Amino acid sequence: MNLSRLRVFRLWRVMARRFRQRLHANIERMRTTDQVFMISAAAIIGVLGSVGAIAFRWLIDTIEFLAWGGGIPSVSSADTLLIVGVPAAGGLIVGVLIYFSTREARGLPDVMEAVALRGGRVRPRVAVETSMATAISIGTGLSVGREGPIAQIGAALGSTFGQLTRVNMHRMRTFVGCGAAAGIAATFNTPIAGALFSLEVILGNFSFSRFSPIVISSVVATAISRHYLGNQPAIIVPPHSLNHPLELAFYAVLGILAAIVGTFFVRALYGVEDLYRKIPIPEYLKPMTGGLLVGLIALLYPQILGVGYETMDRALFSDLEWKLLVILVFMKIAATSFTLGSGASGGVIAPSMFVGCMLGGAFGVLVNLLFPGMSEAHGAYALVAMGALVSSTIRTPLTAILMIFEMTGDYTLILPLMISIIISTALSAYLLKPSVYSLRLLRRNIDLEKGQETNILRSLTVSEVRVPFFETIPPEAPLEDLMSRLAESSFTEFYITDGEGRYRGAVTFDRIRSLVAYGEDLEGVIVAHDIAQFDLPTVTDTDTLDRVMLLFGRHQVNAFPVVEPGTDRLVGVISREHVMDAYNRETARRDLAGEFGSMVNTLTGGQVVRLGVDYAMVEINAPGRFTGRSIRSLQIRSRQGVQILLIRKREHRAGQAHFVPTPDYVIQEDDVLLVAGERDSIERIVNL
């Protein structure tokens, strides 16, 4: 019996290997025409995204039905135990799932980080785990939305497809954008807004090479979702119109209010998150307490449970009192802050729409009381405020305008919508510069606003770049000595040190040049101490290169002294050229990671891949003599004649945990090295 099972297993492995070989062969044939490959890939990702969105919707409905015995709208305010217990139980399950499974199931910023820093590589399991965590959160009544998670699910599917097809870093990011757009478009029946959301939020790039595949994925996903979920608008609105030109001023005021409330929303969310970090309870129990607090709020205001589309519909049809509308603005902010701040999984767009809807409805009641007959019913203001508050939190005006338009199918209020959204976006950016997504990344020391360059420089330290060569002078050195040394030296800065080698000041080329015109008149009069610059900043080995570049922008010098912390002993210098060379090298290494990372998956230990006539690449297990030592100390390039391109951990093979090592990285026993060099050198290192 065991022998037959072994044969079946071997046969299955052979068939799987042949299938992968045929798949890769077909893909390579498709790649002979790039346009055909990208269009086909975008369509496939669109199908995957729509399937993921449909399955995600079904999973939410199923969990909601099981948890509430018929759905959240059927819950009575008298069901005290149910209202408090179900969100708390949902928070407990989600907390355990996230803590013991994956931390990447918590939101869209993880996808943005993957696109910015990891070339768009997202683990395939993220799609499954995000689906489960968010479906449980929404289904049990926690106050979150499904738009961020479905974008993350689609992005994970797109990244998985890119890893299977072994595309480069640029295409991998495009595929991630295709998946995110497909998920959003299929969920909300918004093909244009889905594409723009992906371009504005995920990629931050509107290049045509990315725009076309993303639109294709979005359209394909929308067509499939309409077949299975219907073609009705996501939000049903009553007919609206613009009664008087003065109403545009009212909508401008509404945009200001939306910016203020949206900024308060973001600050409240992260304020609660900071508070939870200080609470001394296990991480996996914190979402349970958040769910408990949501349940307690729902005892008085059950409208805040779940996404809240039913309550939004009532506000749009002017079916709620203004007092309740105002209260629900703050209750929804509190419920969402407790949910996400405690560590649960979910999105912020739907809660932002809910808050905006309540705010706009209350504002519409006020306008109608003050100016009867001049303004539209307050449901129109609720609709416009939905888009204004969304844009004030995520800072995507184009996406917000088109999302509200596509979700409602109503074009009559497009002008008020544009006015409110633009004002809200501009004012909220003034009140709080980062968006709700980028603020989370800033807390991880990732600044997407400054682009890839800053993030790369932030990953490098002075110790990796600075040189130990510099010229020192005594403080009493006369001007004529300085001028003669300057003519013979390759340095443009001289550093004054004391008897113990501690840095005391710098004499720069510009300072010496300013005295050249006086010639012999100053000989024997001016010494180094007289023209030294004592306020020049110093850096240490632990400083990052983005700080060094910031200093270069503030000071007109070519280099900065590098000193030992605490002792101020001069140990080296770092120049602009050093920083730029390090940036170029790191960029090239990361590009290699994108180009060759997927190729590592197809190599087995010792298999050599030729790179032209004289060069080759091979994946090997870390030799025993390498383990426990840094790449810098091994001097692999000079001694072995090869360069380490990538390192992969053997136990993470399924997750494809590739990374580019730094010179100070210490090689571990379970490391797998991707090395390249001349063929003779490759053969030698394989036999180590």
pLDDT tens column, 348-361: 888 999 999 999 99
Region 668-675: mean pLDDT is 81
Q: At residue 510, does pLDDT exceed 70? A: no
Of residues 64, 70, 51, 152, the one with CA closest to residue 108 = 152
Strand partners, 658: 648
**Residue 64: exposed, middle, or buried by beta-carbon count in 10 A (0-12, 13-18, 19+)?**
buried
- H or E element in which residue 493 lies: strand 493-497
Of residues 270, 185, 262, 195, the one with CA closest to residue 229 = 185
All structural domains of the chain with their residue ranges:
1-29, 30-229, 247-285+293-450, 462-579, 601-686
Q: What percent of the chain has pLDDT above 70?
A: 77
Give the pLDDT band (50/70/90) at residue 3.
low
- H or E element in which residue 678 lies: strand 671-678
Residue type, 81: L
Strand partners, 533: 506
In tens, the pLDDT along 368-418 reads: 888 877 766 677 888 899 999 999 998 888 888 888 888 777 777 788 889
Give the pLDDT band (50/70/90) at residue 255.
very high
Q: What is the 3-state secondary structure (H, E, C) of 68-80?
A: HCCCHHHCCCCCH
- H or E element in which residue 87 lies: helix 80-100
Q: Is the pTM of this model over 0.75?
A: no
The pLDDT assigned to 107 comes to 66
Q: At residue 598, does pLDDT exceed 50? A: no
Spatial separation of the C-alpha atoms in residues 180 and 157, rounded to whole Å: 9
Residues 6+ apart with CB under 8 A from 152: 105, 107, 108, 110, 111, 126, 127, 130, 180, 183
Spatial separation of the C-alpha atoms in residues 282 and 285, rounded to whole Å: 6
- Domains 30-229 and 601-686 fall in the same CATH topology: no
How many CB atoms are closer than 10 A to CB 585?
13
Give the pLDDT band (50/70/90) at residue 515.
low
Spatial separation of the C-alpha atoms in residues 128 and 125, rounded to whole Å: 5
Q: At residue 524, does pLDDT exceed 60? A: no
Greatest mean pLDDT among 179-188, 452-461, 468-477, 617-626 lies in 179-188
Q: Token pair 């979700």 is at which residue?
A: 407
Task: Determine whether domain 30-229 maps to CATH 1.10.3080.10.
Answer: yes
Spatial separation of the C-alpha atoms in residues 646 and 617, rounded to whole Å: 11
The tokens of 85 are what? 């217990």
Between 186 and 170, whose confidence is greater? 186
Region 645-668: mean pLDDT is 66
In this structure, the chain runs to a length of 688
What Rg do the C-alpha atoms of the chain give, in angstroms? 30
The tokens of 151 are what? 């974008």
The pLDDT assigned to 488 comes to 65
Q: At residue 142, does pLDDT exceed 80? A: yes
Q: At residue 635, does pLDDT exceed 60? A: yes
The pLDDT assigned to 486 comes to 64
Of residues 628, 630, 631, the one with CA closest to residue 645 = 631
Strand partners, 619: 674
Give the pLDDT band (50/70/90) at residue 271.
very high
Which of the following CATH numbers is that of domain 247-285+293-450: 3.40.50.20, 1.10.420.10, 1.10.260.40, 1.10.3080.10? 1.10.3080.10
Which of the following CATH numbers is that of domain 601-686: 3.30.70.1450, 3.30.360.10, 3.90.700.10, 3.40.50.2300? 3.30.70.1450
Region 277-301: mean pLDDT is 89
Mean pLDDT of the chain: 78
Angle (deg, nearest 10), helices 397-408 and 169-188: 40
The pLDDT assigned to 261 comes to 95
- CA 607 to mean position of chain CA atoms: 35
Hey, what's the torsion of the CAs at 419, 425, 427, 428, to 10 degrees? 150
In tens, the pLDDT along 450-504 reads: 555 556 677 678 888 888 877 777 777 776 676 666 666 666 677 878 777 888 8
CATH superfamily of this structure's domain 462-579: CBS-domain (3.10.580.10)
The pLDDT assigned to 420 comes to 94
Q: At residue 277, does pLDDT exceed 60? A: yes
